[in-house]
Amino acid sequence: MAFDDDDVPTASRQPAAGSEDAPTLEEEMEDGVADFTKLSSMFSKKGISGKTIRKGEKDFESHGTQAQDKVLEASRQAMEEVLGYTRIHRRDAWVRAWYFPDRFAELEGEDDDILLRERVVVVEHEKGNWMKDIGRSCPSSKDAHGAGRLWLLPEEALYLVERGTIDLWWPNKSFEELLPKPSGSEAQQSFGPDDYEAGLPLTLEAAYTLLVGFEGERGKTTFSKYHVFTHLKRGGFNILRAPQNPELPSESRVVSPSWYGFSLWQSLFSFLSLRQEPKVNSQGPLVAPGLYRSYHSIYQQLAIIPRHKPSPTPAESTEPQDPFKIFYHVWKSGGAPFSKRNPPPPDFRIAVTDTSDTFVPDLAQIESLLESTPYDPPNPAWQGPGRVYQRLKWGHRNVLVAIVDRGLVNFMRFGEGAFGEEKVYERFDNPRGRYRGGKGGRGGRGGRGRGRGRGRR
Amino acid sequence: MTTTVTAWPPRPLPRISKIAGRYLVFDHEDASVLRREANTNGSLVGTLPQQPTQNMFLGLPIELRPEEAEALVHKNLARVVDDVAAHQAALLRSPESRAAYIQSLRRDKAAAHKVLAERAAQKAAVAAGKAGGRKKSKSKAEPAPAPAPSDGDDTLFASAPPPAVSSASTPRVADSPMDNFGVTPTSSRDLIPADVDREFEVSNTPQGPLARYLQDGGYHTTPGLRFGSEYSVYPGDPLRFHAHFMANQYDWDEEIPILDIIEGGRLATAVKKAFVIAGSDPSKGEAPENVIAYSIEWAGM
């Protein structure tokens, strides 16, 4: 077979035929429809993995051998088979949703705490376990007829269509006809999956055209936001849109006591040392001549540039602007059961940017973005010089910026670093490692030059 | 360059949907035609319905760069349609005009019904075969005999009551298959009538001379993001081959910072590739003929 010259062309003439059973099936379908060669793979979930598609090590270039062509052909066929899959919904697990883009279009912003204005898809059958962070029920105050129906945001609806969970329909009839009150007369028969006078099942492509748009279009998401959403959902995270007018969560006002105590101690310390120092001459030299018994008093005089000091309550904060504005709140999976009504403080806050129209944020952009997140200082247990880098890396506030390049999603973490809070020179006066007085018990761990810097390499 | 497929029945040009400024391919056959015949693979950006909880291998749609789409249109290898407008027009038409689409949905449902029923019967046959102490040697290679118990394989079914098994795995198989399934086709091939499709064809797509040049030369490209350039350039299908070049496009009179060249050259050389800079000379006709490209390697002396 390997020497058969006809082998490869035959295979390529039926690119997705998969295996030899295809013709048999074709013969059996007598409905007059010819294109059934791909039938068996069309509904099969088998054979999807990097291995079946990418076989073995890649080559540098084509060397014109049949062996190479065959491996490539096999990869392509495996891929085509996977992509040729058609989403089907069995009746017992069938979840239909309807596209009603204008039901809440008139709703005003202030009154709309669950973003009903943006919710354009209503779920008819609520089945499955995907609802823990997706969709919100409409309260009866907003919609007397459709009270209690689950409404989806555009990214939620499109994601569910794409993963094959819901069957999205374009309505031919009014909302009231299609979705009668559940409490009403049972006699009213609901429409089945073949009742096309009620509406039309939409394709995935149609769902994209209806649910993805440009920034600022009501009832649509953007491609970059959608890609971030699906990337995280596929990864198992819980994700919700961030509230539009965020009141900073109460945690921001709580100052970690030990951290506060630490800086108090520090300022007391510096106050004591300052008193012993010679007067600083405004004409220079930078370090006044005199007798110095510690590095500390010299470095103090050198510190003439004011440093950024993170504060739990920033003095003046400006409103963050798109795209450097938190759009999603994200929670890791696992742990306590997630409640979309009363979500705990998020694990991550994410702003979404796209490589095609965004540049590196300037200082004002990143500052207002960071200041819109709660104060989140490093863990108070991270004391001592050995954990300088850990503290610096964590920062006092942090935010993730997702950068999307044609569906490829990258996440960058920006932290409010406080280098001014890490006075390396304080260690120079305590060569034995009695770091910051009083904490003698731990001092032994950190001496001069310790840390994850160069010394370790 | 690679295997070409010529024996396919004539079909319309691959269709690129323009949605919100992006260029997407939804039809899997179009995707493979572009891959095989136009050396354009694009990036898979959708969730794979068969395995929706991973980010390693994604599904349709395929996203193309605007200039990639333009290069295809320029060579008459594909066409671009304003898909939002086309869908609005198609969906707002009279219900009668949807007959073809409904027909295609029913065809898919019938197919699904057939395949699933066969699969269930096959399972039943295997179960029955096992119960009867037989090996399941035949059933895997031959799904066809299973739903036809009247001839050859009678004995398989004689040993166990098959109807019970098969109806348990696919309830109400006997009902109309139309009412048993919902279908979500991936592409709107059957939803958008041909005249609507033509009406909303898009002609002005932003062009990139280098994209035309690479497409014309038979190269495949992927986003260069991972190596800090505009394109990663492959000598063949990226499924099989490593990239040879990291390529950037510059304007003809653009001053190129020397640091760009050093960065690109060092980075590309470090990953066993060459760095390519290219531009098109506006005084010498149009791309791809007027494009000049240089490859740069770090000598590392």
- What is the percentage of chain A residues whose pLDDT exceeds 70? 70
Q: What is the mean pLDDT of chain B?
A: 80
Would you call B112 an interface residue with chain A, using a CB distance cutoff of 8 Å? yes
Residue A352 lies in a domain: yes
Confidence of residue B275 (pLDDT cuts 50, 70, 90): very high
Chain B segment 173-232 residues within 8 A of A by beta carbon are 176, 178-188, 191, 223, 225
Q: A108 with A215, same domain? A: yes
Look at residues A206, A221, A236 and tell me which one is the last residue of a structural domain: A221
> Is it the case that residue A433 has pLDDT exceeding 70?
no
What is the structure's pLDDT at A51?
58
Give the H or E element holding residue B268: helix B258-270
Region A137-154: mean pLDDT is 82
B42 vs B63: CA distance, rounded Å: 6
Size of interface A-B (CB pairs under 8 A): 270
Q: A301 with A430, same domain? A: yes
What is the structure's pLDDT at A99?
93
A332 vs A327: CA distance, rounded Å: 17
Would you call B111 an interface residue with chain A, using a CB distance cutoff of 8 Å? yes
Q: A376 with A431, same domain? A: no
Region A151-165: mean pLDDT is 93
B32 vs B42: CA distance, rounded Å: 11
Tens-place pLDDT, residues A226-243: 999 999 999 999 999 988
List of residues 6+ apart from B98 with CB closer than 8 A: A196, A200, B191
Tens-place pLDDT, residues A100-126: 998 887 777 666 677 888 889 999 888
DSSP-assigned letters across all residues of B226-248: GGTSSEEEESS-TTTB---EEEE
Q: A430 with A289, same domain? A: yes
Region A127-137: mean pLDDT is 86
- What is the percentage of chain A residues whose pLDDT exceeds 90? 17
Q: A78 with A163, same domain? A: no
Which has the minimum average pLDDT: A179-193, B83-97, B127-141?
B127-141
Q: A98 with A187, same domain? A: yes
* The one-letter amino acid at A32: G
Tell me if B63 and A407 make a contact (CB, 8 A cut-off).
Answer: yes
Tens-place pLDDT, residues B225-240: 777 788 899 998 888 8
Confidence of residue A90 (pLDDT cuts 50, 70, 90): confident
* Cβ burial B230-249 (10 Å sphere, 16+ → b, else e): bbbbbbbbbbbbbbbbbbbb
Residue A226 lies in a domain: no
Residue A249 lies in a domain: no
Residue ranges with strand state E in A234-365: 238-241, 326-331, 348-354
A143 neighbors A117 (Cβ within 8 angstroms): no
What is the structure's pLDDT at A404?
87
Q: A331 with A406, same domain? A: yes
Which residue bears the tokens 């980075």? B267
Burial zone of A175 (CB within 10 Å; 0-12 exposed, 13-18 middle, 19+ buried):
middle
How many domains in chain A? 4
What is the structure's pLDDT at B294?
92
What chain B holds in terms of domains, given with CATH numbers, is: 1-93+193-207 (3.40.1170), 101-180 (no CATH), 208-301 (3.40.1350.10)
Which residue bears the tokens 């499709």? B197
Q: A319 with A417, same domain? A: yes
CB nearest to A209's CB, from B46, B47, B84: B84
Confidence of residue B139 (pLDDT cuts 50, 70, 90): very low
What is the structure's pLDDT at A109?
62
Burial zone of B88 (CB within 10 Å; 0-12 exposed, 13-18 middle, 19+ buried):
middle
ipTM, 2 decimals? Answer: 0.80
Q: Which residue has the higher pLDDT, A440 or A114?
A: A114
A335 vs A200: CA distance, rounded Å: 41
What is the structure's pLDDT at A37?
39
Confidence of residue A10 (pLDDT cuts 50, 70, 90): very low
Chain A segment 96-125 residues within 8 A of B by beta carbon are 96
Provide, as residue numbers in chain B, all residues whose Cβ is less than 8 Å from the Cβ of A161.
184
What is the structure's pLDDT at B157?
39
Domain that includes residue A291, residue range: 261-309+425-456
Which residue bears the tokens 């910051």? A436
> Is it the case that residue A275 has pLDDT exceeding 50?
no
Which residue bears the tokens 């309830």? B171
Tens-place pLDDT, residues A336-386: 788 888 888 889 999 999 888 878 888 888 888 888 888 888 888 888 778
Q: A65 with A148, same domain? A: no
A390 vs B150: CA distance, rounded Å: 74
Q: Which residue has the higher pLDDT, A260 or B91?
A: B91
> Is it the case that residue B31 has pLDDT exceeding 90?
yes
State the smallest CA–CA distance between residue A304 and chain B in angstroms: 34
A179 vs A202: CA distance, rounded Å: 18
Catalytic site includes residue B231: no
Largest Cα separation within chain A, whole Å, is 104
Look at residues A83, A99, A128 and tell me which one is the last residue of a structural domain: A83
Residue B292: which of B276, B273, B275 has the closest Cα?
B276
Which has the minimum average pLDDT: A240-244, A263-267, A385-389, B67-71?
A263-267
> Is it the case that residue A300 has pLDDT exceeding 80?
yes
Residue A235 lies in a domain: no
Residue A447 lies in a domain: yes
A160 vs A89: CA distance, rounded Å: 12
* Most B-contacting residue of A96, A205, A358 (CB-CB within 10 A), to test interface: A205
Would you call A198 an interface residue with chain B, using a CB distance cutoff of 8 Å? no
Residue ranges with strand state E in B50-186: 59-64, 79-82, 181-184
Q: A302 with A429, same domain? A: yes
State the smallest CA–CA distance between residue A214 and chain B in angstroms: 6
User: What is the C-alpha end-to-end distance of chain B, expressed in Å?
Assistant: 35
Q: Is residue B26 classed as helix, strand or coil in its secondary structure? A: coil
Burial zone of B106 (CB within 10 Å; 0-12 exposed, 13-18 middle, 19+ buried):
middle
Q: Which of A281-290, A328-337, A399-408, B62-71 has the highest average model confidence (pLDDT)?
A: B62-71
What is the structure's pLDDT at A110?
61
Q: A211 with A148, same domain? A: yes
Tens-place pLDDT, residues B93-137: 877 778 888 888 888 888 888 888 888 888 888 888 877 654 444
Residue A295 lies in a domain: yes
Q: What is the mean pLDDT of chain A?
A: 74
Q: A274 with A318, same domain? A: no
Tell me if A231 and B55 make a contact (CB, 8 A cut-off).
Answer: yes
> Is it the case that residue A251 has pLDDT exceeding 50?
no
Residue A243 lies in a domain: no
CA B104 vs CA A28, B94, B109, B144, B183: distances in Å: 18, 18, 9, 24, 10
Residue A435 lies in a domain: yes
Catalytic site includes residue B273: yes
The DSSP call for residue A96 is: E
Provide, as residue numbers in chain A, all residues whose Cβ is less than 8 Å from the Cβ of B55.
231, 234-235
* Most B-contacting residue of A83, A155, A233 (CB-CB within 10 A), to test interface: A83
